[in-house]
Amino acid sequence: MVDAEALSPEKRVQILDGAAAIFARDGYEGASMSRIAQEANVSKGTLYNHFEGKAQLFAAYVEQECSRKLSQIFETIDTDDDPAATLRAVGDRMARMMLSPTGLTIYRVVVSEAGKFPELARVFYEAGPAKATGTLARWLARQAERGRLRVADPEFAADQFFALCQTRLWMRCKLQMLPDPSAAEIDRVVHGAVAMFLRTYAA
């Protein structure tokens, strides 16, 4: 997908930042390699030297965005807050990320292109959902070891928590039936998710 030997870290950031701006502005269908090259201030030839096409460039963009967003979502997960506070913080950030224009655009593109580009779906899953589930599962396991929670299968429980955080809003936003959920709506969903989760897994 990317010639990592030839692409310097600085040039990679330059190209992916340009790609991010174009994908965010024009969506996947409206984006072109020419526009991305122009935005990134590199030649079209340089772009194609490192990325075979738009799908491969989008996959690299997805990896970068997932890494950035997940680092923000889990930035306070290792603090000594009580489980409810940590889950509320993680759930709130996760919900806001998933419902953001960037989050929804990435999801829609990956789903629409997965049949033609299965590698794109794999990249998204491993960089986003799988990594998020793994991070929360490890935290749940540590809480269980400390006696704060009772979690027999941390990975399954992590999947359940993120599913609860999608209640009411996620499906309607995916279908463009709810373009801009309010902070109060997100807060209600997350607090309900945490309450239900802890009724099952509290020590």
Q: From 2, 202, 186, 24, select the one nearest 99 (Cα to Cα).
A: 186
pLDDT at residue 117 tops 70: yes
* Beta bridge partner(s), residue 202: 149
Identify the pLDDT of residue 101. Answer: 87
pLDDT at residue 33 tops 60: yes
**Residue at 5: amino acid letter:** E
Distance CA 23, CA 105 (A): 8
Q: Average pLDDT in the 96-105 region?
A: 90
- Cα dihedral across residues 13, 16, 18, 24: positive or negative: negative
Distance CA 73, CA 78 (A): 12
pLDDT tens per residue, range 160-189: 999 999 999 999 998 889 888 999 999 999
Identify the pLDDT of residue 55. Answer: 85
Q: From 127, 125, 182, 136, select the one nearest 159 (Cα to Cα).
A: 136
Q: How many CA atoms lie within 13 A of 103 on its CB side?
A: 19
Residue linked to tokens 């984006």: 31
- Assigned superfamily of 1-52: Homeodomain-like (1.10.10.60)
Contact 189, 167 (CB under 8 A): yes
Average pLDDT, the chain: 90
pLDDT at residue 3 tops 60: no
- Burial, 51: exposed, middle or buried (Cβ in 10 Å; 0-12, 13-18, 19+)? buried
pLDDT at residue 4 tops 60: no
Residue 106: partners with Cβ closer than 8 Å, 6 or more residues away: 62, 65, 124, 128
Q: Which CATH architecture has domain 62-201?
A: Orthogonal Bundle (1.10)
pLDDT at residue 2 tops 50: no
pLDDT tens per residue, range 128-153: 999 999 999 999 999 999 999 999 99
Give the start-to-end residue ranges of the domains of the chain.
1-52, 62-201
Q: How confident is the model at residue 34 (pLDDT cuts 50, 70, 90)?
A: very high
Task: Looking at mean pLDDT, say which of 23-37, 46-60, 187-201 comes out highest.
Answer: 187-201
Residue 57: partners with Cβ closer than 8 Å, 6 or more residues away: 15, 19, 33, 36, 47, 51
- C-alpha angle 105/89/128, rounded to 5°? 35
Residue 139: partners with Cβ closer than 8 Å, 6 or more residues away: 77, 78, 86
Q: From 53, 49, 62, 54, select the one nearest 20 (Cα to Cα).
A: 62
Identify the pLDDT of residue 7. Answer: 65
Alpha helices (H) along the chain? 9-30, 33-40, 44-50, 54-73, 83-99, 101-113, 118-127, 129-145, 154-164, 169-174, 183-201
